[in-house]
Every structure is written in structure tokens, then in C-alpha cells.
Amino acid sequence: MGRRNGPGYQPGQQDGDSGRGRPSSGVPHSTPWIRVHWNERDGDRGTGKGTVCNPLQPGMHHALSAKAHRRQIEESDMVWEKMSVNVHLHNLRKRYGRQVALDGVSLDLVPGEITSLLGPSGCGKTTTLRLIAGFETADDGEIYFDRKQINKRPPEKREVGMVFQNYCLFPHMTVQENIAFGLQMRRQGSAEIREKTERILDMVQLAGYEERRPSELSGGQQQRVALARALVIDPAVLLLDEPLGALDKGLRESMQFELKRIQRRLGPTTIIVTHDQEEALTLSGRVAVMKNGKVVQSGAPKDIYDRPRTRFVAEFLGGANLFSGIVTGRKSDAFGCVASRRETFVFPWPEMSSIQVGSSVTCAVRPEHIHFGKPGEGDNSLSVKIADSIFRGTSRTYEAWPDGYDAPLQVISSSDRNQVTDMSYDKPINIYWNPENMMVLEEE
């Protein structure tokens, strides 16, 4: 929640109250507000005096146009503190007949952060989103917004904005009418609706498109209209269901930056459903990987990528080369040895680990962590033959076959020095990887 102890705040003053009485804007008291503080290095503005304003009503304090107000904000060093909520899911369960859609999903989402629900089709991602939005009812479990259970609260009372996979724009309405729809349903005044739609159109870079219909827009423009419609109601929680799935690769990448920019500026707690691993890693402050209606691992994107717990997470999130073997003992306090086929590999073995000597383990190494080198180079090395390669612009992926293995290893090289010449194909060559890049996976 936005703090109530910043500069300019008086005891007993409500968010959205400047201390001179509540503004008569027609905005419901539940509408989130932004508290604005000038940075002290802004000279005369660094007086320690705070102001409180509605982000979508720039004229409330002064007679600036929406564009001039936005420019003033962007050119100054302002810090926006947006009211967002903690979303807590506890043991959510949902069945459709005999099919289990959710099987005890629990998550704690940080206010103002982007969280991605990542997993294959049918794992329960969209069902989770629909339960949060109120479009479906959980068979068991609770949903909390800031410690308030909202299971029985109708969708329109949840302060949630949602962008659907196919955008769901009204084809007979203009861009402005589509965006204003939610405000009209909340019975806000025409002047207020006009101000808010103009401001959000400027924010998503669609000023000048007000009178166009969805059929006259590109896919990226339609996506931005859907996002603007969800954000203009000033939601505390923003839900995005495969928001970039219908866009081509180049546009999808540019929209990732756009989404992050807008989300950081407005600050709602944001949940994205996606099966695109790169999208989840790029957009999110946290990723929850789902399988068969359960969250199998959640955490910061880098933590999950570098240390997946299970084979499923390792393979689904970025791909991995797998080795099965028997733990033979420790090499040092921090590393152990595992015998796999004819080789012995070194892996990280923390003292508090439950791994035991003699236990069977599955290890994994990411393709980009494997290097080409001289025979015997590195603690973990193999002799392989390169069967084929694929050029991907910034890197090249090799299919490397170790002698006696049933499947090839994938090697990704982004360095010219580390790439194999055509003369090396079908000839023995050495690959190696560092022990710290070897991951030991839990049994599923």
C-alpha cells in the first residue's frame, strides 16, 4: 500500500485528500492515488513539501494540459508511490468435473511487482488468473488482497484490470470509446472520462488514434488499446493473459519494454500468464512455474534459471543437458563427484544438502555453459563429435554426440573464438564446463 507518512501528509488525512477537504472529482474514495515528492536536488522544489494528486487528473492542482503535465513529470526527478496490493493465494483448488485444474496453489505476490505464471498448456495458469479476477469460483482455498479475503467479492469490486489473450476489443466502438467503457460503467463524469482517456492514450503512445476502430489498428496497437482500457480504471491489480502471444517476434520484444515502462510508472501488482520462457524471464521480478495444477517452483527469474529444482523446470525453462549417475564422494567442502557412464563429473555440494554418497542423482548443465577446448581441459569434460549446427544470428547451436550416449548434447556458443569450423564436423573434439554450472535436480 502507498505509505501514509510522506511529506505533506497530516494525521487523519486520507489518500487523495490534500488537507483542504476531499477533492470533488467524483472519483470513488477507493480509487488508488499517487503521492508525489520532489527530489531534494531540484532546488526550490526540494522543500520537503509533498503533494497528492490523481495520476489521471493532471488539472486538479494546476491548469496544465495532459501533455504538459506529463512532460513536467518526465523532465523532473519525481518519485511516484503507487497504491498497489499484496496478493496472497492460499491452497487454491479447482475442478471441472473429474479434471483437476488447480491442486493446492499457494503464492505470495509482492505489491507493485510483475509475477509471471509460466507453464505448458493445461497447467492451470489461466484458471488461476480467472479466480483472482473473480470470473471463476475456487472449490477450496482463499484469495487475499492485503489480508482481506475476496473470494466472495464480485469482479467489479476487486479493483482488477485484465487484458485478455485476444484483447476482446469492441469492434463497433472507437479506440476512445473502448478505453472509456470501464469508466462509464463506474458512472464517472464525461469531463473526467475525457481527461483520463486522453492521458492514458498519451501514455501508451496512441494519441491521435481516438476515432479509429479496432479493425483499423495493427496487432501492437490493439494490444496497447487493451492495456489502456485495463489501466484507465486505475486498478490495484493488473492481470495479463498471454498479452503478447499474437504479436510477431520483433513487435513482441518492443512491447516487452513498453509493458515494463508503463507498469513501473503506474505500479499495479501485475500477474502475467505465459508459456513463453523468454517473455517470463524478461518481464518479471518473479516467476512461478506450474505443472499439473501445482506451482513446482517460484522465485526470481535468475535464481530459477540457475538453480532449477526438478528436471521439468530445468528443461522447460531454457533447456538443459541431463546426466544420471551415482554420487561417489566429496572432492572438497563445496563440491562432490558423480559417476555417469565412463566419466566422473564434479558438481556443487553444499554442506547442508541432503545428497548422500551412493545416492542416484540427475544432473544438468545449460547449453550456453558448455565450451569447446583441449582434451582434458576443465574438471568436467567429454569427447564429442559435432553432427550439425544451427546459426541463430547472435549465436550458433551445436548438436554434439558423446561416444556411447543415446542422445546428443546441445551446445550454444556466442563467441567466434569458441565456434567450430566446418572442418571439425564428424571429428572428435573436446567440450567442458565448470563445476559451478552443474545442477543437481530433485526427484519429481
Residue 419 has a pLDDT of 66
Work out the average pLDDT over 245-262: 79
Q: Is the pLDDT of residue 179 over 60?
A: yes
132: pLDDT strictly greater than 80? yes
Q: Give the residue among 418, 375, 425, 380 at the shortest CA–CA distance from 396.
A: 418
pLDDT value, residue 417: 59
Predicted pLDDT at 50? 37
Distance CA 232, CA 380 (A): 55
Q: Is 435 helix (H, G, I), strand (E, B) or coil?
A: helix
Residue 319 to residue 210: CA distance in whole angstroms: 44
What average pLDDT score do residues 9-30 get? 36
DSSP 215: G
**Across residues 277-293, what is the average pLDDT?**
93
Q: How far is residue 310's CA from residue 298's CA, in Å, rounded to a whole number? A: 12
- Helix (H) or strand (E) run with residue 227 in it: helix 219-231
C-alpha cell at 86: 499484496
Residue 29 reports pLDDT greater than 70: no
pTM of the shown model: 0.76
Give me the chain's average pLDDT, please.
80
Confidence of residue 420 (pLDDT cuts 50, 70, 90): low
Is residue 316 within 8 A of residue 120, CB to CB? The reply is yes
Q: What is the pLDDT of residue 352?
A: 65
What pLDDT shows up at residue 313? 96
Q: Does the pLDDT of residue 175 top 60, yes or no?
A: yes
* Residue 205: pLDDT band with limits 50, 70, 90: confident
Q: Are 362 and 407 in contact (CB under 8 A)?
A: no
User: Residue 20 pLDDT > 50, yes or no?
Assistant: no
* Residue with more model confidence, 339 or 187: 339
Q: What is the pLDDT of residue 246?
A: 67
Q: Count other Cβ atoms within 10 Å, centred on residue 304.
A: 24
Task: Work out the end-to-end distance of the chain between its first and last CA atoms, rounded to an integer number of angstroms.
Answer: 38
SS3 content of the chain, % helix, strand, coil (to 5): 25, 30, 40
Burial class (CB in 10 A: 0-12, 13-18, 19+), 99: exposed
> How many Å is the maximal CA-CA distance in the chain?
81
> What's the pLDDT tens digit per position in 270-283?
999 998 898 899 99
Q: Residue 422 has what pLDDT? A: 60
Who's near 7: CB < 8 A, 6+ residues apart? 37, 48, 49, 50
Q: What pLDDT was estimated at residue 363?
A: 94
HEC readout, 180-210 = HHHHHHCCCCHHHHHHHHHHHHHHCCCCCCC
Cα separations in angstroms, 362 against 35, 97, 320, 353? 51, 36, 11, 15
Burial group, residue 29, by CB count within 10 angstroms (0-12, 13-18, 19+)? exposed
- Cell 492481470 appears where? 239
Higher pLDDT, 24 or 442: 442
Do 244 and 279 contact (CB within 8 A), yes or no? yes
Q: What is the mean pLDDT of residues 47-51?
A: 36
Enumerate domains of the chain plus CATH numbers: 1-83 (no CATH), 87-306 (3.40.50.300), 319-441 (no CATH)
User: What's residue 406's pLDDT?
Assistant: 87
Structure confidence at residue 33 as a pLDDT band (50, 70, 90): very low
Q: What pLDDT was estimated at residue 234? A: 87
Q: For 68-82, 178-192, 335-349, which range has the lowest pLDDT when averaged over its residues?
A: 68-82
Q: How many CA atoms lie within 13 A of 38 on its CB side?
A: 16
Which range has the top average pLDDT, 14-23, 239-248, 403-412?
Answer: 403-412
Give the pLDDT of residue 82: 52
Q: How many other C-beta atoms lie within 10 A of the C-beta of residue 83?
A: 22
What is the mean pLDDT of the segment spanning 72-88? 56
pLDDT at residue 416, rounded to an integer: 61
Q: Where are the alpha helices (DSSP H) in 44-124?
A: 66-75
In this prediction, residues 189-197 reach a mean pLDDT of: 87
What pLDDT shows up at residue 223? 84
Q: With contact defined as beta carbons under 8 Å apart, do 306 and 369 qualify?
A: no
Instruction: Tell me which of 271 and 207 has the higher pLDDT.
Output: 271
Banded pLDDT at 341 (limits 50, 70, 90): confident
pLDDT of residue 256: 84
The pLDDT confidence band at residue 114, using thresholds 50, 70 and 90, is very high
pLDDT above 90: residue 297: yes
Q: Residue 7: pLDDT above 80?
A: no
- The Cβ-side half-sphere exposure at 346, using a 13 Å CA radius, reads 15
CA–centroid distance for 245 within its chain: 14
Assign 283 to helix, strand or coil.
Answer: helix
Is it the case that residue 360 has pLDDT exceeding 50? yes
Residues 6+ apart with CB under 8 A from 218: none
Burial per residue of 128-161, b for 16 or more beta-carbon CB atoms within 10 angstroms, e otherwise: bbbbbbbebebeebebbbeeeebeeeeeeebbbb
Other Cβ atoms closer than 10 A to 365: 24
- Whole-angstrom CA distances from 321 to 274, 289, 317, 327, 371 are 24, 19, 12, 18, 13
| Distance separating alpha carbons of residues 347 and 335, to the nearest angstrom | 5
pLDDT per position as a tens digit, 133-166: 999 999 999 999 999 999 999 998 898 998 887 7
Higher-pLDDT residue of 8 and 387 is 387
Indicate whether 389 pLDDT > 50.
yes
